[in-house]
Structure 1
Amino acid sequence: MQTPHEPQWSTAVPSPRLRRDLAGPWHSEAACRRDEAGLFFAPSQEPTAARLSREAAAKSVCARCPVLLECREHALLQPEPYGVWGGLTAAERRVVLGRRRRRQSAEAA
C-alpha cells in the first residue's frame, strides 16, 4: 500500500497487442513527435520553477498520447537518464525502477 506521500505512477508493462508494428514504430504515433524537444529535456542550469512548469507542460502532452505505455516502457528498459518520457521525469522513472527491482527480489525469495 502506498503512503499519501508516494506518487501513484503506473508500472504497467504494455501488452504485446499494444504494439503498432503494422503501422510502423510506436513513436510514429507519439503525441510529442511534433513538439519542441526543449519541452521534454531541461536546458542547462534551469531554475526550479521553470523546470517544474516545463515538466508539467511535457506531462500534459504525454497524458493525451496514444502510445504513452510504450514510451514509458522504452524509457524504463533503456533506461533513459534524462527528460520526460512516458509522462515520467528521470527521478520518477528511478522510483518506478526501484519498485520493480524490490518486487522482483521479493518474488524471487
Structure 2
Amino acid sequence: MCIGNIQIGSLDRASMSAVIFEGLTIQTAEGKPALLAIVDEDGNIIETGEQVAKEAWNVAIASYKNFLIGEGHMRIHTSPPGLKFLTIEKKSAKNGKPEKLAA
C-alpha cells in the first residue's frame, strides 16, 4: 500500500492537498474551502471540521514515521483501543473542571 506508486486524484467533487508545514487542505471541485467529516455507517456525521483534518494528518504522519523507522507494522490509534470515548457533559462553574464524564 505504501511502497510503490501512490495514486491520488480519485475524488470527483473535491480535491485534497498537503504541505508538511500546513497539513491537509480540502476544496470542492469549484475551488471553495471544504471540511472533512467522520460519518458512521448509518450516515450520521459524528465529527467534522478542521480538527478532523488535523487528526487525519497526524495519524498519517505518525504511521509514515513508524514505517521509516522500521515499525510500519504498528497501527496508530487516536485513543486507546478497547476503551469507550469519554465526553465531557458540562463544566463546573466553580473550578472550570468537568463535573461528570460519561463513557
- The TM-score with structure 2 as length reference comes to 0.29
Structure whose alpha-carbon radius of gyration is higher: 2
- The TM-score with structure 1 as length reference comes to 0.27
